[in-house]
Structure 1
Amino acid sequence: MTKHTAREQRTHEAEVTWKAADLRLLHELEAKERLLPPDAPRALLSVRLSVLTAETTSPARQELDLRVFALERGYRVVGVARDLNVSATRVPPWKRRRLGPWLNDRVPDFDVLLFWRLDRFVRRLTDLSTMTDWCLKHGKNLVSVHDTIDLFSPAGRAVAEIIASIAELETAGTSRRVASLWDTPGNSPTGWSESRRTDTSSTTAADWSSIRRRAACSAGVWTPHIVGCRRAA
């Protein structure tokens, strides 16, 4: 490792703030990971955050949740790719500063790519489709702590694509709302008309409902709060 790379790595790691209690838990989890058998499935943890100050999904909390989940599944953590202040809409997984080298140069070094939630991994359906194809080609799995995703089953692949569609619609809806602010006289948020907001919201809601209905009916996932869905036999 060059001096420049080492310095860059230290600077990047310093961006993650660890509380004392979180550090203690991290050390406990690492100690338990060392007790796993050598042939345990190897997990690469993907931690991403668009805005580093977002408290609810801070990098430390994401990593701890991922490590707990990995232990429950019997995965041995072999690396953590922390991409902070990185937009999932603008930067796909294979081009990210930390995750990219694993996907491009270290393919044999892990078996499972573990992430906190799908919208922390990708925001575009095309990116998810690309990653799904890549993982299946290389015998990898994509696993989420908070989503029902398992690329080794047809239903799991369908769920992953449907959730990514919802995430993409959310991003598009936000972009349309922001654009509408700048279209108004004076470029002022106070000029944003209620009719524009309503039209955008209703379109997004209809699209969202349609996608969730397809998730329940075509992917075989029972969703009790959607009318017309039935539990699979």
Structure 2
Amino acid sequence: MFPFQQSGDEFWPHVSFHPYQEDIDQDQHLILGQDSLHGISNLTSSSVEEVLQGHTALATSNANDGSGNLGCEEKKVDRKEIERQRRQQMSTLHASLRNLLPLDSIKGKRSISDHMNEAVKYIKHLKSNIHELSVKRDRLKNLPSSSTSEQGTGISDHNLLDSVTVRHYLDGVEIVLTRGPGEEGIRLSRVLESVLEEGFDVVRCTSTRKGQRHFTTIHCQASNLNYIDADGLQRKLIDVISLPRFDE
């Protein structure tokens, strides 16, 4: 008659026989929750400390890197400044050296190596001239004062005693001609002729005498200020005064 009647267990809710089981479960959940919170708290605090330590180390590293980079930059700037000053000093020295060399020796030569080679040659030439002048000076010192009575017997010796010096002077050159006793006109005329051939204008000529020696100073003005070859003119005048006096 009652087809829907089934076991009464299916219609009655499950009732626990332990009334305190729910409280126990809640207590366990609370305990576990507290442990979890303690674990999370410990984990969080340790993680925060690690993160803070990491940030501190990173900041220190960045600071060190920044100071290191700044030091490297300062060193680079110092090296560049030193190199710039060195190049500027070398340029100044090279310009000074170039101004001391005869123009004909560096004409058409622009490289520093060529100028250095010409400077070496020019120094050797000056040393040779100094040696020749020293020899002539020693001969003049040893010249006896009574040699005037023997003028007619020593033409070649007098030629050896003659000397000429040419140096830059204002806008031209100054020529100092030293001669022994004897005729002066022929020798001086040769010198003046050679000076005019080299493109110089004679501005002033003065003569003095000390003992048996004659000194003639000639001031010349250059027609071309960009080309004054004092060294070449001196070599030419040395050849001129070395000629015998009686060949004209």
Give the TM-score, by structure 2 length: 0.22
Query: Larger radius of gyration, structure 1 or 2?
Result: 2
Q: Normalized per residue, which structure has more helix?
A: 2
